[in-house]
Homo-oligomer: A and B are copies of this chain.
Amino acid sequence: MSVATYHLYHHPLDPSSRLVRLCLAEKGVACALVLEKPWEPSEIIASLNPAAEVPVLVIEQDGEKQVLCDAQAICEYMDETHPGSLLGKTPLERAEARRLLGWFDRKMRAEVTTLLLNEKAIKRLRGRGEPDSAIIRAACANIKGHLGYVGWLTERRNWLAGSEISVADLAAGANLSVLDYLGDVPWDAFPLAKEWYARLKSRPAFRSILGDHIPGFPPPSHYANLDF
């Protein structure tokens, strides 16, 4: 049996793509990244995923090709097929990790990340439209609730869903790292969330994401700094 190769169709500022990159890295699986613009889906991504969305993971082994879509489905697949658990040991632990994956990858993304990403990055990268300051203000108000919730959880648990790191941490870290790239995380007002993010950021699995650099749209200087 030959070694499997992994290709991930992604965008560096798409939080669900980052979630999958973090999951692969925590599993010690190397993947080649293929850049896609979510606002201008290529024919390739449309042929791989009927939703024409990133992330899409393509696994090739022994001449067979598997195409996986949907960030949560990909993380669950990786967890089922590779050693170590990013979901938890018991059904109740897994239910909590999945609840929080949903919280950060869907609720927080819709209330904060997608809004700021669209107003501050995508409009600029597409060269279309001006940022809407009312939307930016709303998203910057919403982020406080999520940072407070991260802090609340870490006062009660070692990691967000329990004693071990899980997809909940990866989903929260994926969204907060995108927002940090945009310079929009008020870390100093949320010391508990900051302490949790510093721990996450120092993991080897986070390195690839901290090395992201979009031409013409650089991150702030503290972005890759472990002592931010």
Chain B residues, CB < 8 A from A102: 70, 72-73
Chain B proximity of A36: nearest CB distance (Å) = 17
**Does A91 interact with chain B (Cβ within 8 Å)?**
yes
Contact A70:B98 (CB < 8 A) given known A50-B149, A103-B51? yes
Q: How far is the CA of A134 from the CA of B208 in the complex (A)?
A: 44
Q: Across the interface, which residues of B come within 8 angstroms of A184, CB to CB?
A: none
This chain: how many copies in the complex? Answer: 2
Interface positions, chain A 73-112, Cβ under 8 Å from B, are: 73-74, 76-77, 80-81, 91-92, 94-96, 98-99, 102-103, 106-107
The complex places the Cα of A70 from the Cα of B107 at a distance, in Å, of: 11
B74 touches A95 (CB 8 A): yes
Asked whether any CB of chain B lies closer than 8 Å to the CB of A165, the reply is no
Instruction: Report the Cα distance A102→B51, complex, angstroms.
Output: 11
Residues of chain B within 8 A (CB-CB) of A2 are none
| Chain B proximity of A127: nearest CB distance (Å) | 27
Q: A47 near B: Cβ within 8 Å?
A: no
Does A68 interact with chain B (Cβ within 8 Å)? Answer: yes
Contacts beyond the supplied A72-B102, A74-B95, A81-B91: 4 A-B pairs with Cβ under 8 Å: A68-B95, A72-B72, A73-B102, A106-B106
